[in-house]
Structure formats: C-alpha cells, structure tokens
Amino acid sequence: MTDLSDNLIEAALDHVPFDGWSEGTFKAAINDTGVDEATARALFPRGAVDLALGFHRQGDAALGAALAAADLSQMRIRDRIAFALRTRLELVEDHKEAVRRGSTLFALPLYAADGARAIWNTCDAIWDGLGDASEDVNWYTKRATLSGVYGATLLYWLGDQSEGHIATWAFLDRRIENVMQFETFKKQINDNKLLQPFLVAPNWVLSRVKAPARMRDMDLPGRWRGHGKTET
C-alpha cells in the first residue's frame, strides 16, 4: 500500500465515527490530505468502500508483523489461534467505531462479498502467520472454520462493554473449544474401522482438492519451512 493510500485511510479514520464509511468521509479525507481527487479515485475507485477495505488490509499486515515477531513455539495450536485472533482485534481497538461502521457497511447485500472476502483474508493471514503448511482440502477447511470463529468473535467484541474485553476473550475460548471438539470427533470418525469402507469415495474426492498454487510455491513470511508438518 502506498504512502498516499495510508494517508487517506488515516485521514478518513477521523471522520468515520461521525459519517461512517461514506462519500462524505472520502471527500473529507481528500481535503485533509490535499491529495488530488483524481489520484484518490485511482487509488480507491469505489471511494469509501475501498477505504474501508484498505483499513482492514492494514490490520492484516500489522497482524502478520506481530505474529512474525512473537514466539509461539511453546503454545498449543488452540492458544496460538486465540493469540492471533485476540491480537487482530486489539490492533484496531483504538478504531473500534470504524470497525463497527465497516461491519454495518459490509452487511449490506451490495458489499457482503467484499466483507466475506476480507474475513477470509484475515484468517488466511492468521494461518500463514502460524505456519500452516497444508496443501490439500485442509487449507480450505481451516480458513473456513476460522472465518466463522473470527466473524462471531468480532460481532461479540463490538458489543462488549466488559473491562479489557474479558467477556470477548472468554467467548473466543469457548468458540475455539467447540472447534477442537469437532476436530476430535472428525478424527474418531476417520479412525473408525467400521466406517472406513464408507469413507473411501469421499476421502478420494477430498484428496484431489489442492490449495492454491501461491500457497504451495511461495515462501511466505511466517511459514515454517523444512520442519515437517505443523501441529493440527
């Protein structure tokens, strides 16, 4: 993201609590930064909607840096996930109202796909930062499952008035525990010898699913290379 983009997003954040991610906010950011409107439109063709997405990407980039700097080696996988999700929300705590306004914007049918993609990208950044090396259908299921946890936790966080958001972190722990229980159940099904004959066909289909090439071929920051499989 360019410095001009960052400056426009930063300027917009002063106006979002009052005007939301709106055309008025976009024009105010242009006026505050002195950026030529044609240049601003080239950077953010849809105006405030793209500003909101740019703000979200900033958070994802900051999360990636935080995960790269953290020592997670002694944590269980559930604790790593909780740490990553909590860090992502804490990074935008000073702009909670901007996040709230963004959630309202992306709840609109017109922008729902953008919102879903933004959540997916956050979860993709989390799994990359945690060193996920999956290259099969697990690449998708991990991100899809985490998207559900993140989306639910985000909404809870937006309404949480507890000191230090302690209620949100308890809610997050419960959601992660639910996921881990499901994973245990799924493993029990796959290990059940009586059911294995019925799983041959679906497992063969799933084995043909591969992660996007960019995940397999690029040495992304935060991925653990040369250490075998990561903990699941």
State the angle between helix axes of 48-69 and 77-90 in degrees (0 to 180), rounded to the nearest 10: 140
User: pLDDT band at 1, cuts 50/70/90?
Assistant: low
**Taking the complete model, does pTM exceed 0.85, yes or no?**
no
CB 50 within 8 A of CB 42: no
Please give the residue that has the higher pLDDT: either 153 or 191.
153
Parse the chain into domains and list their residue ranges: 1-45, 62-217
**What pLDDT is stored for residue 149 in this prediction?**
94
Question: From CA 96, how far away is CA 34, in angstroms rounded?
Answer: 26
CB 175 within 8 A of CB 152: yes
Mean pLDDT of all residues belonging to the chain:
84
Question: From CA 70, how far away is CA 44, in angstroms rounded?
Answer: 33
* Residue 131: strand, helix, or coil: coil
**What pLDDT is stored for residue 134 in this prediction?**
81
**What pLDDT is stored for residue 115 in this prediction?**
96
**What pLDDT is stored for residue 200 in this prediction?**
42
Question: How does DSSP assign 61-115, residue by residue?
Answer: HHHHHHHHHS--TTS-HHHHHHHHHHHHHHTTGGGHHHHHHHHHHHTSGGGHHHH
Highest mean pLDDT among 88-97, 209-218, 219-228: 88-97
* Residue 122: strand, helix, or coil: helix
Helix (H) or strand (E) holding 146: helix 137-159
Contacts of 139 (CB under 8 A, 6+ apart): 132, 211, 212, 215
**What pLDDT is stored for residue 179 in this prediction?**
79
CB 48 within 8 A of CB 17: no
Model confidence pLDDT, tens digit, residues 97-149: 999 999 999 999 999 999 999 999 999 999 999 998 887 778 888 899 999 99
Model confidence pLDDT, tens digit, residues 63-78: 999 999 999 999 999 9
Model confidence pLDDT, tens digit, residues 20-56: 999 999 999 999 999 999 999 999 999 999 999 999 9
